[in-house]
Structure 1
């Protein structure tokens, strides 16, 4: 019987804009002995004449070409070029995740943010890094805050102008904007200004943007003012929203189902509390769904929020949740279907104003356990020439963690 071919090993080499001269001796030796080297057309041009093997540019779409390369066992060793540090928003991470750490050797070069921090004299350990390569420019919005320093990886030459406009739109017009173009290469250049007066002329496609934020103080804590949301009245008010998002315990890498999203405020503030969480917002009303999308995009989390339709029908097509919030329109079927979808250890929280929905959660507490809390909020309001407390409608909040002892399919 013929022996099966050995698994291909991959050597991922980081390369800067300065090309071959900027590579370490180890990187040069690895590439010089390579039988085949894959990279972007720009990267391949940087090693032209220095490698004896084949240098192959990625075809479009690159993801398909890379998948074919990872599956091919023709070559015992395949070399791949990456921009800067392959493990910093780079192809090195993709390859390691696909084939396993034991089949990948990574030879790093300085990342773009390391080069930028060196040019600016910024402490990289206290600088926030945001990528808009795969996310929209709005992804910077939750990070804006007075005194915060951001390094933003640009998608293309139009990104700096988009970032400056966002800063200005959110009250950060005095923010210092510095664009570092072609870092490490012969065409390296730097442009500076303020967000409100930024020159909209496109920059070089290869750039990184430094934002030295000047504007209002900001917090990721839940409880944004009600006025930041567009709403037709279906809005969980500030105080209750802050308590609810806290009860939902936002955590890294988690997925929330926001059932009966309304204006989307609960899911949006849950997303703002974690940099990589995701939300599926279920909203049957089309106008409200548009509002959810609008609010999420303006507040910088739209790229992490997916809209879905009527429940419980839409549950079947959604990924399984780590956390569920039941807002408007919950009934026994919706609650039980959401509970079944929730993984053991997952958390469910429901808010109810109407007596019928409150009773639903009282019954759920008896069947499934957890806790019941009655939230009552009063605000001072004019009463003639004086003031009095005006109570809002009380809310019953049910919260429960699903474990092996409380898994009920009824």
Structure 2
């Protein structure tokens, strides 16, 4: 870092304002020349501070980018106010990611999650039973809560505003979790702190305090993250990798945090959606030419709470050229020599490709690819018991040939 590079100090401030800041944070703000923050945050500071107070304009993200990219003066230090702990779903993480940790000093206050846990008596440690999970609706949609819901779970939700609790209650009821208890903690740590508690099924408040944490004590069905959801949990037009084969396929793709999957010929999107359910930070690009199927994929993704990490793309093979480089590729539909060659070329070292074939023609492609590139070939033959007259007999599904290969 050169001496002329602009530096930033991010100060976390709670609803208790100036009085809740530590001595170091107070002294830092007393010495500040310029302080950026929301109008609400700036109003918490004493008027006698000599700094120029500058409220964020809308959209804040554009204003922040302008400040971070601004011309630097020698030794210039810019102070930014953030809510609570700036490194927990906060402004500090964005600033550090943009300019680098060496140019940023972060002075945290207790996060709203810590305040909520203290209020509720909920253990935040990773080994706690039940474990407490956190979801953020600040920039996301209410369906982001869905993957965390299971009987006995505890979830703390960073609400976008005062309408979020009602949206969460509606979502819980729709998913069979209407008996869950909602506790909305408003303006935590401040003089206007409030608490509202009710069952999701009984929730009747259209709006609560805008600055709130919504705590969910889940009561409902036990939901597993294991791949192989029932077929009826996906809307489809027949283009669906069936439950058992889907479970084997997702396991073969070996989901890992931070990875990107190409779901080629996505159909209903079931493979990509099940992939996303296995991790918190995985991403998927779904390639599908049919607009109706694309809309269906997005609807399925919303229903399973993973739409924020799924991006629809166009028809193959043309759309493959503009897609970000994948860590994993699944080819289920549209399999031909050109698509297979494009996908093989796109996989970097350490990546994996999984392809499923049902017809003799596509099976021959995988046999030839196996001869050229190695990997493993597996033939999956599934039979289910079904009615035959007054008796029961095995009914075989079409066998699937699966090729799994590492680059």
- Shared fold, TM over 0.5: yes
Name the residue aligned to 2:64.
66
CA distance in 2, matches of 1:309, 1:391: 34
**For 1:124, what is the secondary structure of its paired residue?**
coil
**For 1:344, what is the secondary structure of its paired residue?**
coil
CA distance in 1, matches of 2:350, 2:65: 35
**For 2:210, what is the secondary structure of its paired residue?**
coil
Q: CA deviation at 1:329?
A: 1.4
Contact kept in structure 1, 2:6 and 2:76, CA below 8 Å: yes
Name the residue aligned to 1:209.
214
Spell out the pairing of 1:300-311 with structure 2 (5 A cutoff): 300-311=305-316
Name the residue aligned to 2:374.
369
Spell out the pairing of 1:350-369 with structure 2 (5 A cutoff): 350-369=355-374
Name the residue aligned to 2:234.
229
The one of 47, 50, 53 aligned to 1:52:
50
CA distance in 2, matches of 1:198, 1:250: 37
Spell out the pairing of 1:117-266 with structure 2 (5 A cutoff): 117-125=117-125, 126-266=131-271
Name the residue aligned to 2:79.
79
Q: CA deviation at 1:333?
A: 0.6
CA distance in 1, matches of 2:7, 2:289: 49
Name the residue aligned to 1:391.
396
Q: CA deviation at 1:214?
A: 0.2
Name the residue aligned to 1:407.
none
**For 2:79, what is the secondary structure of its paired residue?**
strand
Spell out the pairing of 1:100-111 with structure 2 (5 A cutoff): 100-111=100-111
Q: Which moved more, 1:197-206 or 1:113-122?
A: 197-206
Contact kept in structure 2, 1:378 and 1:390, CA below 8 Å: yes
The one of 344, 347, 359 aligned to 2:349:
344
CA distance in 1, matches of 2:293, 2:103: 48
CA distance in 1, matches of 2:59, 2:15: 23
**Which stretches of structure 1, 4 residues or more, deviate above 4 A after TM superposition?**
none
CA distance in 1, matches of 2:295, 2:79: 46
Name the residue aligned to 2:128.
none
Name the residue aligned to 2:13.
15
Q: Which moved more, 1:14-23 or 1:195-204?
A: 195-204
CA distance in 1, matches of 2:385, 2:116: 51
Q: CA deviation at 1:64?
A: 2.0
Contact kept in structure 1, 2:316 and 2:334, CA below 8 Å: no
The one of 322, 328, 331 aligned to 1:326:
331
Spell out the pairing of 1:260-279 with structure 2 (5 A cutoff): 260-279=265-284
Name the residue aligned to 2:320.
315
CA distance in 2, matches of 1:269, 1:369: 26
Q: CA deviation at 1:50?
A: 4.4
CA distance in 2, matches of 1:154, 1:242: 34
CA distance in 2, matches of 1:67, 1:48: 27
CA distance in 2, matches of 1:91, 1:342: 35
Q: CA deviation at 1:10?
A: 1.2
Q: CA deviation at 1:317?
A: 2.0
Name the residue aligned to 2:116.
116
Q: CA deviation at 1:5?
A: 6.0
* Structure 1: gaps (5+ residues): 403-410
* Structure 2: gaps (5+ residues): 126-130
CA distance in 2, matches of 1:50, 1:362: 77
CA distance in 2, matches of 1:345, 1:51: 55
**For 2:161, what is the secondary structure of its paired residue?**
coil
Please give the TM-score of this superposition, normalised by the length of structure 1. Answer: 0.95
CA RMSD of aligned residues (A): 1.2
1:88-141 deviation per Cα after TM superposition (whole angstroms, max 9, x unaligned): 011111111111111111111000000000111111123100111111110111
